Structure 1
Amino acid sequence: MSVVTRFPPEPNGYLHLGHAKAMYINFTTGAECYLRLDDTNPEAEKEEFVDHILDNVRWMGWTPSKVTYCSDYFDELLHLAVKLIDKGLAYVDHQTPEEIRRTRELRQASPWRNRPAEESRRLFDDMRRGKVQEGSATLRMKMSFDSSVGCMLDLVAYRVKNAVHPRTGSRYSIYPSYDYAHCIVDSLEGITHSICSLEFESRKASYYWLLDALELRKPVVSEFSRLCVDHNVLSKRKLARLVSEVVDGWDDPRLLTLAGLRRRGIPPAAINDLCKELGMTRSEGRVPLHRLYHHVRAHLDATSFRCMAVLRPLRVVVTNMTDNHEEVVQASLFPGRTLETYGVPLTRVLYIERSDFRTQDVKGFRGLAPGKTVMLRYAYPVTCHTFREHDGQVEEVHVTYDVTKASKPKGVIHWVAEPSPGQAPPSIEVRLYDDMFKSREPESCDDWLADVNRSSLEVVHGVGPPFLASREPGSRIQLERLGYFCVDTHQRVLNRTCGLRC
Structure 2
Amino acid sequence: MNIKIKKYNNNFIYNIIKKDFKKNKYLLLRTRFPPEPNGYLHIGHAKSICLNFELANLYNGHCNLRFDDTNPLKENIKYINAIKNDIKWLGYKWNKKIHYSSEYFPKLYIYAKELIKKGLAYVDELTKEEIREYRGTLTQTGKDSPYRNRSIEENLTLFKKMKNGYFKEGEVCLRAKIDMKSTYIIMRDPVLYRIIFQEHHQTKNKWCIYPMYDFAHCISDAIEGITHSFCTLEFQDNKRLYNWILENISIKNRPKQYEFSRLNLKYSVLSKRKISILIEKKIINNWDDPRIQTISGLRRKGYTPSSIKNFCEKIGVTKQNNLIEFSMLEYCIRKELNEKSIRTMAVLDPIKLYLYNIDNNYEETFIVPNHPKKPELGTHKIIFTNTIYIDREDFKEKYEKKYKRLKIGEEVRLRYSYIIKAEKIEKDLSGKIIQIICYCNLNTLGKKPINKKNPAVIHWISVKNSFPSEFRLYEKLFNIDNPDQEKNFLSFLNPNSIIIKNGFIEKNINKTIENQNYKKLSFQFERIGYFCIDSVESKKNKLIFNRTVSLKDTWNIKK
> What TM-score do you get using the length of structure 1 for normalisation?
0.96
Matches within 5 A, 1:93-108: 93-105=124-136, 106-108=141-143
Query: What does residue 456 of structure 2 align with?
Result: 411
Q: Is the aligned partner of 1:478 residue 2:513? A: no
Residue 387 (structure 1) shift = 2.1
Secondary structure of residue in 1 paired with 2:161: helix
Secondary structure of residue in 2 paired with 1:182: helix
Corresponding letter in the other structure for 1:74: F
State whether residues 384 and 397 of structure 1, in contact with CA within 8 Å, keep that contact through their aligned partners in structure 2.
yes
State whether residues 314 and 395 of structure 1, in contact with CA within 8 Å, keep that contact through their aligned partners in structure 2.
yes
Indicate which of 435, 440, 446 corresponds to 1:396.
Answer: 435
Query: What does residue 148 of structure 1 align with?
Result: 183
Q: Distance in 1 between matches of 2:335 and 2:205?
A: 50
Q: Distance in 1 between matches of 2:315 and 2:365?
A: 48
Matches within 5 A, 1:247-266: 247-266=284-303
Residue 429 (structure 1) shift = 0.7
Query: What does residue 110 of structure 1 align with?
Result: 145
Query: What does residue 76 of structure 2 align with?
Result: 46
Q: Distance in 2 between matches of 1:155 and 1:428?
A: 56
State whether residues 381 and 407 of structure 1, in contact with CA within 8 Å, keep that contact through their aligned partners in structure 2.
no
Residue 468 (structure 1) shift = 4.0
Residue 301 (structure 1) shift = 1.3
Query: What does residue 27 of structure 1 align with?
Result: 53
Q: Is the aligned partner of 1:487 residue 2:533? A: yes
Q: Distance in 2 between matches of 1:329 and 1:360?
A: 33
Q: Is the aligned partner of 1:329 residue 2:366? A: yes
Q: Is the aligned partner of 1:243 residue 2:294? A: no
Secondary structure of residue in 1 paired with 2:470: strand
Q: Is the aligned partner of 1:211 residue 2:250? A: no
Q: Distance in 1 between matches of 2:361 and 2:150?
A: 96
Query: What does residue 375 of structure 1 align with?
Result: 413
Q: Distance in 2 between matches of 1:486 and 1:345?
A: 23
Indicate which of 85, 91, 105 corresponds to 2:122.
Answer: 91
Deviates more, 1:359-368 or 1:86-95: 359-368
Query: What does residue 162 of structure 1 align with?
Result: 197
Q: Distance in 2 between matches of 1:343 and 1:58?
A: 37
Residue 486 (structure 1) shift = 1.0
Corresponding letter in the other structure for 2:91: G
Q: Distance in 2 between matches of 1:321 and 1:55?
A: 54
Residue 249 (structure 1) shift = 1.0
Residue 260 (structure 1) shift = 0.8
Q: Distance in 1 between matches of 2:463 and 2:496?
A: 32
Deviations 1:29-75 (A, max 9, x none): 22211111111101111110000000011011111114211111111
Q: How many residues align?
A: 498
Indicate which of 464, 468, 482 corresponds to 1:441.
Answer: 482
Deviations 1:459-499 (A, max 9, x none): 11111111344525423211111001110112221111110
Residue 112 (structure 1) shift = 1.1
Ranges in structure 1 where 5+ consecutive residues have no aligned partner:
none
Q: Distance in 1 between matches of 2:508 and 2:158?
A: 70
Q: Is the aligned partner of 1:228 residue 2:264? A: yes
Deviations 1:154-210 (A, max 9, x none): 111111110000011000111110010100111110111110011100111111111
Deviations 1:90-137 (A, max 9, x none): 111111111111101150111111111111111111111111211111
Deviations 1:365-417 (A, max 9, x none): 33112222211111112122222234443321122222222444231111011
Residue 446 (structure 1) shift = 4.7
State whether residues 382 and 508 of structure 2, in contact with CA within 8 Å, keep that contact through their aligned partners in structure 1.
no
Corresponding letter in the other structure for 1:18: G
Q: Distance in 1 between matches of 2:130 and 2:39?
A: 29
Residue 273 (structure 1) shift = 0.7
The alpha-carbon distance between structure 1 residues 467 and 70, as it changes in their structure 2 partners (threshold 3 A), is: farther
Ranges in structure 2 where 5+ consecutive residues have no aligned partner:
1-26, 539-543, 554-559
Q: Is the aligned partner of 1:4 residue 2:49? A: no
Q: Distance in 2 between matches of 1:167 and 1:468?
A: 47
Residue 145 (structure 1) shift = 2.1
> What TM-score do you get using the length of structure 2 for normalisation?
0.87
Query: What does residue 314 of structure 1 align with?
Result: 351
Secondary structure of residue in 2 paired with 1:464: strand
Corresponding letter in the other structure for 1:487: I
Indicate which of 332, 346, 349 corresponds to 1:295.
Answer: 332
Q: Distance in 1 between matches of 2:329 and 2:280?
A: 27
- Identity of paired residues, percent? 37
Secondary structure of residue in 2 paired with 1:112: coil
